[in-house]
C-alpha cells in the first residue's frame, strides 16, 4: 500500500447525511480510536481516514468492494445518487 505524501491542504466543509445506525457506528469508531490513540478523534477525522484508505486502493478494489456498497446505498436511499 503506497501512501501519498501528507500535505497541509485547507479543509472544505461538507454535509453528510447518516442514518441513526450509521451515526452510532461513527460515534463508536470515534470512541474506539480516541481510546486507542489517547486523544479525541473527531468524526471528520474518521471519515477523512476512510477516504484516504480508499485513495490508496486500486481501481479494481473500488469496483469490487466499494461500487456494490454504493449501489446498495442508492437502492435504499432517499433520492441521493439518482439520475437527473
For the stretch 37-62, pLDDT in tens is 999 999 999 999 999 999 999 999 99
Is residue 14 assigned to a domain? no
Contact assessment for residue 19 and residue 72, using Cβ atoms and an 8 Å cutoff: no
Is residue 52 assigned to a domain? yes
Is residue 7 assigned to a domain? no
Q: Count how many domains the chain has.
A: 1
Contact assessment for residue 22 and residue 29, using Cβ atoms and an 8 Å cutoff: no
Range of the domain at 65: 20-76
Mean pLDDT of 75-82: 65
Contact assessment for residue 21 and residue 28, using Cβ atoms and an 8 Å cutoff: no
Alpha-carbon distances, residue 52 vs 1, 3, 45 (angstroms): 12, 9, 10
Amino acid at each position: 500500500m503506497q501512501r501519498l505524501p501528507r500535505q497541509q491542504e485547507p479543509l472544505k466543509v461538507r454535509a453528510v447525511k447518516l442514518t441513526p445506525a450509521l451515526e452510532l457506528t461513527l460515534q463508536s469508531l470515534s470512541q474506539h480510536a480516541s481510546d486507542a490513540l489517547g486523544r479525541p478523534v473527531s468524526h471528520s477525522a474518521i471519515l477523512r481516514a476512510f477516504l484516504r484508505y480508499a485513495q490508496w486502493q486500486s481501481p479494481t478494489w473500488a469496483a469490487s468492494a466499494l461500487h456494490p456498497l454504493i449501489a446498495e446505498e442508492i437502492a435504499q436511499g432517499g433520492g441521493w445518487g439518482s439520475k437527473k
